[in-house]
A = this chain, B = another copy of it.
Amino acid sequence: MSPPQNEKRSVSLPDVASEAGVSTATAARALGGYGSVSRASREQVLAAAARLGYSRNELASSMITGRTSSIGLVLGDIENYFFSALARSVIDSAKARGYDVLVTNTDENIEAERTAVRVLQERRVDGLIVAPVFSSDTAHLARLTERGTPLVIVNGTIASLDIDCIIGDNVVGAGTAVDHLLSLGHRDIAIVFRSSGMPGAPMSPALASQSGSERVTGYRQSLERAGVTPRLDYQRGGGLRIEDAEIAVNTLLDLEHPPTAIVTTNSVIVLGLLRALAKRGLKVPQDMSVVNFDDPPWAAQVAPPLTTVAQPTKEMGELAVELLCQRLGSDGDPPGVHRLPTTMQLRESTGRLKARRPGRPPVK
């Protein structure tokens, strides 16, 4: 005798309609807020819906309208500050425009990325924002655009597709970081980048992400401008986890001629670096200067506060959603690559190079 007879078929539009004494069409119009409905009927329908505990089935609605009001977000590693900040920004921006977000984590695994894209497509998301694992292995992304599903790339570019790409100015950003270290007298500058291979492995384009590669490029170019020849053994893959990065840093510290400054290409790597230094009792910046790519909230609060290259994560997320919505509305400028500038946050983890040998006074 109770209306909410659980575990049965849920109350649907015809139920509401008959309860309100109108047709399903009228009920749909009243509940959907479109077409024209008389005041009286609308109130009848709304009351009936409330009485029955009606909940509109978005699935059915989407099947008809062809849109789900949802977008898919495919990220590499949501534990990395860059991606979590990006996720936050995308979720907020999307909500402001009436979209929900389906978040997927790939762990920088191309197979996971392919699966994610397929599943999201099967869910008929209206559009996708993807931080791609590779900028070359993109058949699954090409298929998306062929089907006409709007796609925006973040933290990478896809040269073969005519779509919007948003990426930080990694070459310049890394360059300014190295320039800064050079200006402090450092010459033995290393870089530890996120890589999919074994931690400690030397640089190889296949191991690093596009962003990572670009940052290494900026690093090299800056050194070469200063007349310093980049050493391969100063360019190490730091793996994906804090522990991996720690191992990679240790291989650097164990070199016969260890670096005096290290650039890290993300916030996971830098934690491994700090851990490795702490375990050896090495002080920052006295024994080692450190610059990190990305500027998480805690960077300013560690001791010493970390000098970083900040990316405009919030703007990137907002722009991604905005561009996606332009495509959804089929208005907007032709797609292209959006390079967003980075900003150097000068704090205290970088110091002037001191002479290595005791007896020679530190340069002042």
Contacts and interface: CB of A to CB of B under 8 A. Distances in A.
A88 B79 contact: yes
A302 B303 contact: yes
User: Nearest 6 A-B pairs (CB), nearest first?
Assistant: A303-B303, A274-B301, A58-B122, A302-B302, A6-B148, A298-B298
Contacts of A78: 84, 87-88, 91
A45 B68 CA distance: 28
A304 interface: yes
Contacts of A119: 100
A101 interface: yes
Interface string A292-309: 000011101111110000
A166 B297 CA distance: 28
A124 B53 contact: no
Interface of A: 4, 6-7, 10, 53, 55-60, 62-63, 68, 70, 78-79, 84-85, 87-88, 91-92, 95, 100-105, 118-119, 121-124, 143, 146-148, 242, 268, 271, 274-275, 278, 296-298, 300-305
Contact of A123 (B58, B274, B297, B305): B58
A363 B82 CA distance: 44
A91 B101 CA distance: 13
A78 B275 CA distance: 25
B6 A146 contact: yes
Contacts of A88: 78-79, 105
B63 A60 contact: yes
A123 B6 contact: no
Contacts of A60: 63
A148 B87 CA distance: 31
Nearest to A98: B119
A102 B105 contact: no
Given A6-B146, A298-B271, A56 B105 contact: no
Contact of A92 (B58, B105, B148): B105
A296 B81 CA distance: 12
Given A84-B78, A88-B105, A103-B103, A271 B301 contact: yes
Contacts of A56: 122
B302 A301 contact: yes
B55 A63 contact: no
Nearest to A11: B147
A100 B119 CA distance: 9
Contact of A84 (B57, B68, B84): B84
A57 B122 contact: yes
Nearest to A274: B301
Contact of A63 (B59, B102, B103, B268): B59
A303 B63 CA distance: 55
Contacts of A305: 278
Given A100-B102, A147-B53, A68 B59 contact: yes
A68 B123 CA distance: 9
Contact of A59 (B62, B143, B148, B274): B62
A59 B119 CA distance: 12
A147 B91 contact: no
A103 B83 CA distance: 14
A275 B298 CA distance: 10
Given A53-B146, A303-B303, 12 more contacts: A55-B118, A56-B122, A70-B102, A78-B84, A78-B91, A79-B84, A79-B85, A91-B103, A100-B102, A274-B301, A275-B300, A296-B298
A242 B105 CA distance: 27
